[in-house]
Amino acid sequence: MTLTARPTEATTVAHDRVFRHLRSRIMHGDLPPGQALTLRGIGKDYNVSMTPAREAARRLVAEGALTMSSSGRIATPELSNDRIEELAALRALLEVELASRALPRAHMALIERMQIINTAIADAVQRGDAVAYIRTNLEFHRTLYLRAQAPAMLAMAETVWLQMGPTMRALYGRLRRTEPPQFHRLILAALKAGDEPGLRLAVRSDVTQGLRMLAG
């Protein structure tokens, strides 16, 4: 807690470390849907007692990253098709708005960074690395949305990503993707052209494409 010497690291509190690490794993599809977790197990993984494990679990449940049965057992969520559709609609709503707000502030340096990330996505796809694919894909989006200067909106978008994390991984396995997302090129083109309607369409298409593959 008092180790303020390290500049980049915030709090070193145990429950927060557990929370952040677990959150990242879930968001990036490191855990399959329906994966059961136990407080004692989490505690053992991170060398802490049940207390910090419980607090991390609580926060994750509150964010929808984990579900709790009536008896208190915790697991990653198994989403129904309706829920997946709804979350995709939420992504479309939120991310189109975020992209739109970021557009006036998206200069060339940002677009170039996004292009580099896009090549990393292609890498992950070629390696068939689902976790790396999800992580870099979200990084692509987050890089843009950070420019929107809308932290509450970005937090909501991340909450949606979090809820979809385990399912995204399962979906990736079914998609057998061989190429990077086609709509990323459209997003980058619209950004360069300052074309807002085009950007909105491209983002909406990108965030709902997985859904279309699921339904089709």
Partner DNA sequence: GTTCTGAGATTGTGATCACATGGAGGTATG
Partner DNA sequence: CATACCTCCATGTGATCACAATCTCAGAAC
Q: Is 23 in the site for DNA (CB under 7 A)?
A: no
- 74 forms beta bridges with 37, 68
Q: With CB under 8 A as the contact rule, which of the stretches 51-59, 110-118, 181-189, 202-210 interacts with a copy of itself?
A: 51-59
Residues 91-150 that bind a copy of itself (CB under 8 A): 93-94, 97, 150
Binding mask 3-22 for DNA (x = CB under 7 A): ----------xxxx------
Asked if 94 and 194 touch (Cβ cutoff 8 Å), the reply is no
Pick from 17, 20, 54, 142: which binds a copy of itself (CB under 8 A)?
54
φ, ψ of residue 37 in degrees (nearest 5): -130, 150
Pick the binder of DNA from 22, 26, 27, 37 (CB under 7 A): 37
Residue 1 touching a copy of itself (CB under 8 A): yes
Separation between Cα atoms, residue 170 and residue 67, nearest integer Å: 17
167 is an interface residue for a copy of itself by CB under 8 A: no
Residue 34, classified by CB atoms within 10 Å of its CB into exposed (0-12), middle (13-18) or buried (19+), is middle
Residues in the chain: 216
Exposed, middle or buried: residue 171 (CB in 10 Å: 0-12, 13-18, 19+)?
A: buried
Q: Hey, how many other C-beta atoms are within 10 angstroms of the C-beta on 62? A: 11
Interacting residue ranges for a copy of itself, rule: CB under 8 A: 1, 3, 11, 13, 54-55, 58-64, 68, 70, 72, 83, 86-87, 89-90, 93-94, 97, 150-153, 155-156, 159-160, 163
Interacting residue ranges for DNA, rule: CB under 7 A: 1-2, 13-16, 37-41, 43, 48-52, 54-55, 68-74
